[in-house]
Amino acid sequence: MASTVTNIFGATSTTEDVLSGIDLRGKRILVAGVSAGLGVETARSLAAHGAHVIGAARDLAKAENATTQVRKGATGAMRFTKTKWPR
C-alpha cells in the first residue's frame, strides 16, 4: 500500500524539513543548475541524505567551484556533466 504524505511544506520549509528521516542511499538523482543558488542547495541536501547526485551545468568549472563544500560533507557521491541548454 502506498504511503500518504501527511506533512505540508510551504515557503519557509527548508530542504532539511522536506528530507527529514529520508534515506536516499542507492538512489541516483539528476540536479540541473548546480553552479549556483537552489541547484547547489538541492544537490547538497540530497547528497547529505546519501543520494548519488549527478549535477548538470553549462559551466563545469563554476559548478565544481560552487559545490566544493557540498562534496566534502556529502555521504553520497557527486559527479558533474556539462549541458547545452538553449538560451
Domain residue spans of the chain: 23-82
Residue with the three cell numbers 510551504: 10
Indicate if the pLDDT at residue 38 is higher than 60: yes
SS3 31: strand
Whole-number pLDDT of residue 81: 67
CA dist., res. 50 & res. 42, Å (int): 13
Indicate if the pLDDT at residue 66 is higher than 60: yes
Instruction: Please report the beta strands in 1-87, taking only residues with DSSP state E, as ranges in sequence order.
Output: 28-32, 52-57, 78-82
Indicate if the pLDDT at residue 51 is higher than 70: yes
Q: What is the pTM of this model?
A: 0.75
Please report which confidence band the pLDDT of residue 21 belongs to, taking 50, 70 and 90 as the band edges: very high
Q: How many CB atoms lie within 10 A of CB 63?
A: 24
Domain 23-82 has CATH 3.30.70.890: no
Cell matching residue 11:
515557503
Whole-number pLDDT of residue 1: 46
